Each structure stands twice: as structure tokens, then as C-alpha cells.
């Protein structure tokens, strides 16, 4: 089973900041997006159980190589890094176009993507890629398994009541959640082996994409203003004994018509 | 003249609460832009849901389609919506920032080549287009964004507006568009309802949440009782979901749900940034915590320093007594 895992290299949660043109600064200190690590773990488990290989695919600046290195150390077979100066500031539309073009050049049975990213929080790029490529799209996966016939994939998709069991022919694109299970830590051996693994770097020219279609100048959305939110008024603090404390909580809520 | 569309999501043949908010938001944006508001409801029971949606003012287009059959709802809704929107070319499509809504928006953006603004916590009309307000970087930053060329899709979170009936209801019409393109087959083999599926935290007016401080699954009983006393829902942090005390559907935070109830009561929650992302825009935040220096103190409205096992049961009794 050949699985491509889409990985976004994001700033470490809590350290995000805006750079030029209100764009997220992705110049350094990047890690794999948390949700992408869950699907990578699922991909590694599937190939360990059924044979096959895992290819990481990312679009990002030079610093995204750090995130790829971690994925390789976790056990991925190889990495593909789409990197081009013209890509800086690309919007979701351009990102979907580029990743779809990269997937067209790869051979795979399954492509995996994580649910929302920690920096952009969109959660729509994977669906857009599937629509562009005409792939079956199975989202919000809590469990992924190959079908009995070897030509299909089965996914448990989280639903308000529990989950739906979905089935589709391969190749297919699966978007997964943290319910897939805790990702492994890279072992020392994995870290050593990662150094010898292959990373392909593809430019826009390699993908046959006109640079004028991507990047900040072609972005379809733009940030107009960015500012810290107004602080909440300081909290009322209650340190009374429980009975008095509860009375005061109820008064506080009643004053706001919340109880 | 701007065309503002809201895409209604149906559950059991009725519009979700968020869909009623989107219909209200569409009406408000149409007023501000001098345009027209339309709600499109695609799904099982659309014709019945249309009346409830029309009460909010916009014209309603009801498309009866099998969203509860053997295909995932988004794959039934998206191609029909693409056919309607491809022809009518609305300027703005307001879509629920829900799992199905995101699947629909991703499909539409690719098929209609439309940009998407995500996670709207507020939408207003300015300079000929929608301006979308969102909270980012764990709430450290608020941004206003716009489309570079007018038209696009906006994914809207719960709580941007209060659903309000209009003075005059909108007209209801039905449509049966041919899906824009056949989607590759994804089949729903089975829909599994898990025992103990609790009240949804997405729509609840009050959410009572627990963190590691609750101690274990038994500790969650008092949290559940307080939530029940408020008529609200139970949520939790990632730590308690990972520990198996609560299902993932109840997880609040960066990798869980982002919610905006009128009242959020945090019990035994320190308020790590990953959790804060999911609840900081709640109307009123009450934190019950032993540690007066926990990060949550910085963004709560009321902080109760003490033992939650002593305070929560008493609070439950007091709320029950008050609500009768």
C-alpha cells in the first residue's frame, strides 16, 4: 500500500506571529502540524501491517525541511518538498492547486491529510484537492482500514451521534483526526536513518505551474487589519468558603441573566 | 446588486441553530449591501425545513435530496449547490463552519474557483464586499479579512448573530438541479450511534467543561449534573478525552471544537493555549479552580478559587433550586 501524507510545516503553537503583509511568519522554528502527525501515525501503522511505503508531501519554505525530517525520523520512506520563492503568501486556492499538481506526479493508493491546521484553521484544502483530482474524499476519520478486497478503503467518519462507516475505491483522499491515535516519537535509530532518506525538492516549473497563479500577488483573500483583541475586563475573584462562594456565583450569573 | 446566499444545514429534517443564524446574517448583509438574501436548503426534508428558514426573512430555495441515505451528506449537497450557485453567481456564500460545511466549501471552492475565508466570528459589509473578523493564534490576534476580487465563500462559526425572525417571511420555492458533476463514489455502509452520545456542545447555550482536575470518569458525574441543571452540555479538554473520560465529540480546543456558548463554566481546567482557542469567545467564562495562578484566570470573567468537588455539587443544587 502506497500512502502519501500531506504535511504542513507550522510555527510551534504559541509562537506564531505575523510577518510581512500580515502573513504568518514561517521563516524558522517549524514543526509538523499536530493533526498531520495523527494521519502520519495511521499511515505508518497501515504500511507496517500490510506492507508498502509512506511518502511525505509538503509545500512550504526552506524551514519546512525540519518538519519533513521529523516525519522521516518517525518512519516515512521519503519526502517531497515543493518549494519555490514564488509560493510565499499563497492562499488556500493556490495551495490546493499546487498540492493537487504534486499528487498527480506521485503514485499512491491513499493520500492522507490532517484536519484543520493550527495556524490557518481552515480545514478545506484537503476537500478542494480531492475535488480537483476527482478523488473519493473521506473526512474526519477516526479509524482507517483497507477493505477486504484490497481495492477499497474503509473509514469511520465522526458524526454527531457516533460515527459513519464509509467505503470508497482507491485511490482516495482521507482526512483524519486525533482519534486515529497518538503519534509515535522518533526513535534515536529513526533519527539516524532519516539522514539517509531521500527528499525530492520540486519547483513550480517541475509541476508546470505558472508562478503568476500563486503567491501573495495572486492571493484571493487578504488580511486588512490585525490587532490583539481588546482584553477582557479583569476577572472577579471569589475566595470564600463553598457555601458563600456558590451564593456569589449565582448572584453573578443572575445579574447577567444566565441562570 | 449583491446576492448573499446562506447554505442551510439540516439535521433530522430541521435546520440547525447555526443555519438559522446564517439566514439572519444573510438578511443583515443584504440590508447593508442593498442586495438580496437567499437561503439554500439541500437535503432530506428540505421542503419542510424551508418554512422555518423563511421566517427569518430571506427567500428560500428548497432542494429535496437524500442526505440521510447511502452517500455522505456533503457529497449530496455540494454538487447540487455548485449547479445552483454556478448559474446564479451569488457574491457571497455563507456556509456553516462544521465538518459537513467544510467539506462542502472545499468542493465548491475547487469546482467554482471561489476563494474561502474561514472561521468567521463576525461578518460585516464594507467597500463592496464582506469583511470577515476572525480570532487567530490562540486568541492572541484578531484579524479582519476580505476577498481580493469580491466574490467568495465564508465559513461562519456559531454565535456571529442571534437568529431573529423577520417582519415578513421570505418566499419559498423548490428546485431540483442536476448535480454539477458526479462525485467519485463514497458509500455510507453503516451509521453507528454510540451509546451515551451527550447533548452537542456546538449548539448549547451553556457548556460545563472539565479538565484533568476533575480526577477521573467518576469526577465527571458532578460536571454532568451541573450541565444538566443548566440545561446545557458537557465538554472537556484534550487531556480528558485522551484519557477516555469523554468522547472526542465533546472536546473543546485546537484539535477539537471551537464553541461560543453564552456561559462557559470551566472546572479543573488550567487554561492551556490549546484549550483557550476553543472557548475564549464564550459570552461569560466562569472558572472553578484550586490554583489562583492558573492561566485561565487571565481570560475568565469570574474565578472561584477552591475545591471543585465542594463547589460544583452545591452550585448544581443552587441552580436547580433557581431554575425550578
Task: Kindly state the average pLDDT of the residues A115-126.
Answer: 88
pLDDT reading at B197 higher than 60: no
pTM of the model: 0.90
Give chain B positions within 8 Å (CB) of A219: 148
* pLDDT value of residue B196: 57
Size of interface A-B (CB pairs under 8 A): 257
- Picking from B75, B109, B137, the nearest residue to A128 by CB comes out as B109
Encode pLDDT of B57-68 as tens digits: 999 999 999 999
* pLDDT value of residue B10: 96
User: Taking CB atoms and an 8 Å limit, are B185 and A136 in contact across chains?
Assistant: yes
Encode pLDDT of B280-300 as tens digits: 889 999 999 999 999 999 899
B290 with A212: CB under 8 angstroms?
no
A90 with A101: CB under 8 angstroms?
no
Answer left, alpha or beta for residue B92, where phi above 0 means left and psi between -120 and 50 means alpha: beta
B22 with B66: CB under 8 angstroms?
no
Strands (E), B175-296: 187-193, 206-210, 233-236, 263-267, 284-289
Characterize the bridge pairing of strands B187-193 and B92-96: unpaired
Encode pLDDT of B72-88 as tens digits: 999 999 999 999 999 99
The single residue listed with the C-alpha cell 456569589 is A248
Residues shown for chain A: 259
Residue to test with chain A: of B18, B78, B110, B158, most A Cβ within 10 A:
B110
Q: Which helix (H) or strand (E) holds A94?
A: helix A92-104
User: Taking CB atoms and an 8 Å limit, are A159 and B191 in contact across chains?
Assistant: yes
Distance CA A236, CA B300 (A): 8
Our CA-based measurement puts residue A196 at a distance from the nearest CA of chain B, in whole angstroms, of: 33
Task: Kindly state the average pLDDT of the residues B235-253.
Answer: 91
Print burial letters for B164-174: b (CB count within 10 Å at least 16), e (below 16).
eeeeebbebee
User: Taking CB atoms and an 8 Å limit, are B106 and A93 in contact across chains?
Assistant: no
Distance CA B13, CA B45 (A): 4
A171: preceding bond cis by omega (within 30 degrees): yes
Distances from the Cα of A94 to the Cα of A132, A133, A219, B80, B98, angstroms: 12, 14, 8, 24, 23
Categorize the per-residue pLDDT at B190 as very low, low, confident or very high, splitting at 50, 70 and 90: very high
A73 with A48: CB under 8 angstroms?
no
Domains and CATH numbers, chain A: 2-218 (3.40.50.620)
Supply the DSSP string of B95-109, one letter for each residue: EESSHHHHHHHHHHH
**Could you give the percent of chain B with pLDDT greater than 70?**
98
Strands (E), B18-128: 36-43, 59-64, 92-96, 116-120, 122-126
Query: Which candidate, A166, A164, A142, A163, places its Cα nearest to that of A154?
Result: A166
C-alpha dihedral sign at B70, B75, B76, B79: negative
| A134 interfaces chain B, CB cutoff of 8 Å | yes
Distance CA B44, CA B191 (A): 16
Our CA-based measurement puts residue B289 at a distance from the nearest CA of chain A, in whole angstroms, of: 10
Chain A residues 47-106 within an 8 A CB cutoff of chain B: 91-93, 96
Encode pLDDT of A144-201 as tens digits: 999 988 899 999 999 888 899 999 999 999 999 999 989 999 999 999 999 999 999 9
Characterize the bridge pairing of strands B141-147 and A221-227: antiparallel
* pLDDT value of residue A17: 87
User: Taking CB atoms and an 8 Å limit, are A178 and B140 in contact across chains?
Assistant: no
Print burial letters for B123-145: b (CB count within 10 Å at least 16), e (below 16).
bebeeebbbbbbbbbbbebbbbb
Q: Which helix (H) or strand (E) holds A199?
A: strand A198-202
DSSP state of B56: T
* pLDDT value of residue B53: 98
Distances from the Cα of B87 to the Cα of B8, B82, B84, B95, angstroms: 19, 8, 5, 18
Q: Work out the burial of residue B196: count CB atoms within 10 Å of its CB; fewer than 13 is exposed, 13-18 middle, 19 or more buried.
A: exposed
* pLDDT value of residue A102: 98
For this complex, say whether ipTM is above 0.90.
yes
Question: Is B310 strand, coil or helix?
Answer: helix
Categorize the per-residue pLDDT at A243 as very low, low, confident or very high, splitting at 50, 70 and 90: very high
Query: Grid coordinates in use for B125?
Result: 459589509
Residue to test with chain A: of B132, B206, B255, most A Cβ within 10 A:
B255
Encode pLDDT of A201-236 as tens digits: 999 999 999 999 999 999 999 999 999 988 778 899
Domains and CATH numbers, chain B: 3-174 (3.40.50.620), 206-323 (3.40.50.1220)
Question: Is A22 strand, coil or helix?
Answer: helix
* pLDDT value of residue A86: 97
* pLDDT value of residue B195: 61
Distance CA A192, CA A102 (A): 28
Encode pLDDT of B114-141 as tens digits: 999 999 999 999 999 999 999 888 778 8
Encode pLDDT of B214-235 as tens digits: 999 988 999 999 999 999 999 9
Task: Kindly state the average pLDDT of the residues B178-188.
Answer: 85
Query: Which candidate, A62, A63, A119, A122, places its Cα nearest to that of A92?
Result: A122
Question: Is B84 strand, coil or helix?
Answer: helix
* pLDDT value of residue B198: 66
Question: Is A137 strand, coil or helix?
Answer: strand
User: Taking CB atoms and an 8 Å limit, are B318 and A125 in contact across chains?
Assistant: no
Q: Measured between alpha carbons, how far apart are the two ends of chain A, in Å?
A: 56
Query: Grid coordinates in use for B45?
Result: 426534508
Mean pLDDT of chain B: 93
Distances from the Cα of A27 to the Cα of A16, A22, A69, angstroms: 11, 14, 16
Distance CA A223, CA B63 (A): 35
Characterize the bridge pairing of strands B129-136 and B122-126: antiparallel
Amino acid at each position: 500500500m502506497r500512502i502519501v501524507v500531506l504535511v504542513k510545516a507550522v510555527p510551534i503553537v504559541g509562537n506564531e506571529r505575523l510577518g510581512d503583509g500580515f502573513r504568518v511568519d514561517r521563516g524558522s522554528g517549524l514543526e509538523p502540524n499536530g493533526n498531520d502527525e495523527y494521519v502520519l501515525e495511521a499511515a505508518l501503522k497501515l504500511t507496517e501491517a500490510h506492507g508498502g511505503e509512506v511518502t511525505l508531501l509538503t509545500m512550504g519554505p526552506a524551514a519546512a525541511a525540519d518538519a519533513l525530517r521529523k516525519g522521516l525520523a518517525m518512519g516515512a520512506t521519503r519526502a517531497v518538498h515543493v518549494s519555490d520563492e514564488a509560493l510565499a503568501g499563497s492562499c488556500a486556492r493556490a495551495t490546493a492547486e499546487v498540492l493537487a499538481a504534486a499528487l498527480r506526479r506521485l503514485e499512491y493508493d491513499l493520500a492522507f491529510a490532517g484536519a484543520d491546521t493550527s495556524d490557518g484553521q481552515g480545514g478545506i484544502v484537503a476537500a478542494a484537492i480531492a475535488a480537483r483530482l476527482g478523488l473519493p474524499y473521506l473526512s474526519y476519520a477516526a479509524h482507517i482500514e483497507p477493505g477486504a478486497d484490497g481495492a477499497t478503503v474503509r473509514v469511520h467518519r465522526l458524526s454527531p451521534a457516533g460515527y459513519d462507516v464509509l467505503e470508497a475505491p482507491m485511490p482516495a483522499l482521507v482526512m483524519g483526526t486525533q482519534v486515529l491515535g497518538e503519534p509515535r516519537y522518533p526513535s534515536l535509530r529513526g533519527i539516524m536513518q532519516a539522514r539517509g532518506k531521500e527528499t525530492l525538492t520540486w519547483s513550480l516549473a517541475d509541476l508546470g505551474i505558472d508562478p503568476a497563479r500563486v503567491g501573495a500577488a495572486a492571493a484571493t483573500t487578504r488580511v486588512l487589519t490585525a490587532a490583539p483583541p481588546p482584553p477582557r475586563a479583569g476577572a472577579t475573584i471569589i475566595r470564600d468558603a463553598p457555601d458563600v462562594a456558590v451564593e456569589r456565583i449565582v448572584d453573578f450569573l443572575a445579574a447577567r441573566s444566565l441562570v | 446588486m449583491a446576492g448573499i446566499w446562506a447554505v442551510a444545514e439540516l439535521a433530522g429534517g430541521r435546520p440547525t441553530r447555526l443555519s438559522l443564524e446564517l439566514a439572519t446574517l444573510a438578511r443583515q448583509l443584504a440590508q447593508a449591501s442593498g442586495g438580496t438574501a437567499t437561503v439554500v436548503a439541500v437535503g432530506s426534508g428540505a421542503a419542510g425545513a424551508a418554512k422555518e428558514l423563511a421566517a427569518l426573512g430571506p427567500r428560500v430555495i428548497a432542494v429535496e435530496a437524500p442526505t440521510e441515505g447511502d452517500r455522505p451528506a456533503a457529497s449530496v449537497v455540494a454538487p447540487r449547490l455548485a449547479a445552483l450557485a454556478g448559474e446564479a453567481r451569488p457574491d457571497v456564500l455563507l456556509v456553516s463552519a462544521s465538518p459537513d460545511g467544510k467539506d462542502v466549501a472545499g468542493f465548491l471552492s475547487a469546482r467554482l474557483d471561489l476563494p474561502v475565508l474561514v472561521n468567521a466570528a463576525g461578518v460585516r459589509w464594507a467597500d463592496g464586499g464582506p469583511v470577515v473578523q476572525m480570532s487567530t493564534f490562540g486568541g492572541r490576534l484578531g484579524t479582519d479579512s476580505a476577498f481580493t476580487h469580491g466574490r467568495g465563500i465564508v465559513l461562519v462559526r456559531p454565535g456571529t448573530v442571534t437568529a431573529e425572525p423577520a417582519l415578513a417571511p421570505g418566499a419559498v420555492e423548490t428546485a431540483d438541479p442536476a448535480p454539477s458533476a458526479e462525485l467519485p463514489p463514497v458509500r455510507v455502509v453503516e451509521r453507528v450511534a454510540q451509546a451515551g452520545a451527550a447533548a452537542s456542545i456546538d449548539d448549547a447555550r451553556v457548556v460545563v467543561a472539565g479538565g484533568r482536575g476533575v480526577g477521573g470518569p467518576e469526577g465527571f458525574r458532578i460536571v454532568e449534573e451541573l450541565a444538566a441543571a443548566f440545561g446545557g452540555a458537557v465538554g472537556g479538554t484534550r487531556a480528558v478525552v485522551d484519557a477516555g473520560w469523554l468522547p472526542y465529540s465533546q472536546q473543546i480546543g485546537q484539535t477539537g471544537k471551537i464553541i461560543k456558548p453564552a456561559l462557559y463554566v470551566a472546572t479543573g481546567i488550567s487554561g492551556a493555549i490549546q484549550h483557550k482557542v476553543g472557548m475564549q469567545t464564550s459570552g461569560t467564562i466562569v472558572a472553578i479552580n484550586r490554583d489562583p495562578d492558573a492561566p485561565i484566570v487571565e481570560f475568565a470573567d469570574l474565578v472561584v478559587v477552591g475545591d471543585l468537588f465542594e463547589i460544583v455539587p452545591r452550585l448544581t443544587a443552587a441552580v436547580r433550586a433557581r431554575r425550578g
